[in-house]
Amino acid sequence: MYSSDKNGFKEAVYTLVEAIPPGRATSYGAIARAIGYPTMSRMVGKIMSCCEESGRDLPAHRVVNSQGQLSGHTAFGDAGEMQLLLEKEGITVRNNRICGWKRVFWDPLYEL
């Protein structure tokens, strides 16, 4: 079931997201780009919404958009749950936005 390509893509996303070190965060585009699909940023988001269903412990709260803004409020709950998780990890979040985004930004292409 499902094409092997998509399966491989999802697997790659899971691996990268799970490889995100604590206190760090990355963007959808960075992940997609690291895999080799710079235009699949949207797909990453969809996969993320299914991350818990995938049977893996993916720190999806560490994955935000390219601006360092928390966008997963729809999946986590608009109560700022995601923000709390990030702050717990040591990341400073303000108004649904990561403080010092460039500082906490984790680029798999550069660091991995």
Partner DNA sequence: CCGATGACAAGCA
Partner DNA sequence: ATGCTTGCCATCG
Chain residues in the site for DNA (CB under 7 A):
3, 6, 27-29, 39-46, 48-49, 51, 60-61, 63-67, 71-72, 74-76, 82
Q: Report the nearest approach of DNA to the CB of residue 83 (Å).
A: 12
Question: What is the closest distance, in whole angstroms, from the C-beta atom of residue 40 to DNA in the complex?
Answer: 6
d(CA 51, CA 18): 10
With residue 27 as reference, give the H or E element that holds it: strand 26-27
Which of 56/90 has CB closer to DNA?
56
From the list 95, 19, 110, 10, the residue with the least C-alpha distance to 63 is 19
CB of 27 to DNA, least distance (A): 4
Return the number of other C-beta atoms located less than 10 Å from residue 100's C-beta: 11
Fill in the DSSP letter of residue 63: E
* Pick from 68, 79, 64: nearest CA to 102: 68
Shortest Å distance, C-beta 110 to DNA: 14
